[in-house]
Structures are given as C-alpha cells and as structure tokens.
Structure 1
C-alpha cells in the first residue's frame, strides 16, 4: 500500500497526510515556505519539486524510510463532516475548476441526468435551488461510498477516516491531528515542534483556498441543507469520522469539535 497522499518537506522536518477539503493547500504552502523561505508560485498540488509527495517516484523512498522509522513529526488535519461535504459540493460539483472546466469531465452532466442535481451557471450568477440540489448530490455520495455506483467515491467526499488510516496501516504513527476549526492554534503547535529552516508567520500569511471565487457562494446556514433524510445519509457514510475526530453528529450548526482527538483510539481503530 505504501503511503498514498503523504507529503514531506525536503528537509524532513515534518510529514503530512493530505485529507482533501481540510486546508491542504494552506498546509502544503506552509511546508514549502518553511523549507524555502517563500511560497510556491501556483497551486501547491501542482508542485513537482521542493516538496516530497508520495505521487512522485523520487519521493517514495525518502517518505517510506522516514515514516516507518518515525524520524519526523507526523500530522494531518480534519474538518467537521457537515462542512466538508458542503464544501465539496460547492467547489467540485458547482464550481468551475482552475482549468476552466467542470470537475472530472462528464461527472456533472451525469449528476444532472441521473440525480436531478442543478449546479447553476457562472453567466447567470449561479442561480439555482442550492438546498434541493445538495440533498440530491448527497444521495449520489452515499451510492458511491456504500455501493461503488455509479462510480467509486471521489477523494474529496470519501470519509476522512479512510484517508487518515492509510499511514497507520502502512506502519506510521501520527503525533498530531489538527481540527480545521482551530487551525492557527494547531498549526502553531506543529511549527513549534518541527525544526524549521525558515520561520512561518501564520498571522501574516494568506490563506490558499484554490477553489475560492470559482463557484456559487453558500446562500444558507449549514444546518438548512440537512433535513431528516440528509442527516441519516451523513450518519450512514461519515459516522466513524464524527466518532474518531470529536464532532457533533446531531447538530450540523455546531461547527467546532466537542472534544480533543484521542490519538491512541484513532490508531487502535484505524490500524485494525
């Protein structure tokens, strides 16, 4: 299996397991700056050097050697599943991607045809019934995760616990798991514990949200998107995420976690 989705600074000061839709662009840029004293010019996901990534052939040996020996601080970042799935919908389904096209080619037309999802049009200001469309998208998400139909689940809406588990099953261990909702405090602890080549000023740096401005704005509070059926579907596919990462499964309006993450419990349950 190896360590898919794992990034490491070239200096090996820190190792990060990417969880999509959980501040991964910002974290990648922080890692890059801590080594090189500047941010990467562009989307950090496109960087082919300056940062070790499991997807790059030359990076696999160094990452595997480091993680299996636990030579560096290892961390990841998670997010309230209610906010994460909404973000995936507005970014990946409704938004225009940075290449100027819809995400994954025929995915959106298929959703329109088979699930009745609407996504709006940038020419008309993305006017559509967001709540109705999102709830139909959620049915599709459940079908992909539970049944692998009409396609395998996409990384942007597959469960966070699945992403987090790969590093553990490969023989690695996390030192920290951050909550997006308290990002600055959590990331400050990472930077304090890692031997940095260059300091990073979290308060002064920009946020690297690559999807910002390319799709519709969320028009309603989070809880408005989830009726009884939607709550049931979320429990069905993300129940483990709520349990392991300390979020409130009963109240979509409660963004912040209820408790700290029990690292030992995460390793025990995801390493089995």
Structure 2
C-alpha cells in the first residue's frame, strides 16, 4: 500500500530499528517532512532500491538526519539486486563516487561490453552484462538493456537504457509502440515519445506530435484514438502538438530537443 509517514514514524519510535528500507518516494517523503534527527535517533542506515534515487535527495537526507542512504540496483531482466552500496564502501568512497549504484553484490559479477560483446576497459560506457550470484560461476553472462560503466574499483554507474524503454510504475513501455499508435491517426504526420521523470511512478511516456499540413486534430482526438490501441499504462501522460519535431541531421527525432520542447510546453 501507500507509505504512511505518521505510522512509519510511530513504528520507528516504538521499535527503534537500526536499519530501515525505504523506496525513493518514501525517502523523499521523510526528507520533506517535519521529522527531526531525534525522531529517527535509532536508525544508523537507510537502504533504498527499486527506482533510482537522485544523489541530491540521498545527500540532503544524510545532511538533515545524519544517516547514510545505501542505494542498490536490480537489473530488470532478473529481479534481485546485483549491485549496491555497503556501509564501509559508503564511508570510504561516497565522496569520490557519488552517483554510482555501488559494487557487485550477492555474488553477482558485472561487466560492460560493446554491441558485439567486446569487454570494455574501466570507465568506458557500454551495455551492462551480469552473471547473477544465484546462478553460480559457470552460468552464462546475461545482457541487460541498461547502459553503464564500471570504474577500476568495480563501482557501477547506470547511464540509461539501451532500448529507450520507459519503466512506468513497474510496467515497461516501448516508445516505438506508442509512436506507431499515434502515427496511425490520419491527421498525424509524425510523433516522438520520450520518458518524463515522475515522483510516484519513476517515469511516464510523453509525446510530441506533428500534424499533416491542412489537418486539424486536438490532443483529445489523438488520445481517444489511442484508447483502443494501447494499454492504459502505455497512453502518454502528456501529448503536445508542435509545429515541427526537432530532428538530427540523419532525420531521427532529436530526443534531447524533444524533451526541452515538452518541458517548455508544461512549464
């Protein structure tokens, strides 16, 4: 269910746990609450997983309560954490490696490769491959859809998703599927779909749409058209009709410029 701040604070005061686990949304709720260091006196460490927690939020939490936040990372392909921060690592390395999701954990092995499987040197970005601990040392490497880099000390940074998939509250949304559905509307000349950050769901799909010359269609028309073609979680939470979709020289939608267009439209 939903995180109940008052109930949680009461439980902490009553049971005085040394360690607590909070999803990023809950970390932010505690951070922005009236709770003080005294309310959380027993807690020595907070662990946080499932969705990315920003460095700013985790550091603000530590500044306010004096409690380190240890983040972990689970690859979507096989639930279960494969990397994370330990308390000794946090004490020793956090200042230098803030933003990392920590080192291999639970017996997992990590490596970063090119498309064709060449293993990359430290700090070179590529596709993350994992050998999960529970599968044993003779298991095959499993390729994830995450882009990442490993440094020489084995700390992992997640840089994005190779397949551009949008993970909306645990559901996987493929931008091309949403774009095809939008472009099947007779008035639409083209569309581009990107993920927008969302405090509650992680991210949601958002779209910019270019209409055919002389065509008229409203945002509502297009969303109604999508209702019968997409799952509810695939329907964009924002859909903005623009004069032209910004494109790269090769003719592909320029996703960074599309994000700026959406940010400008929703300010």
TM-score by length of 2: 0.26
TM-score (norm 1): 0.25
Higher strand proportion (structure 1 or 2): 2
Structure of higher CA gyration radius? 2
| Larger proportion of helix | 1
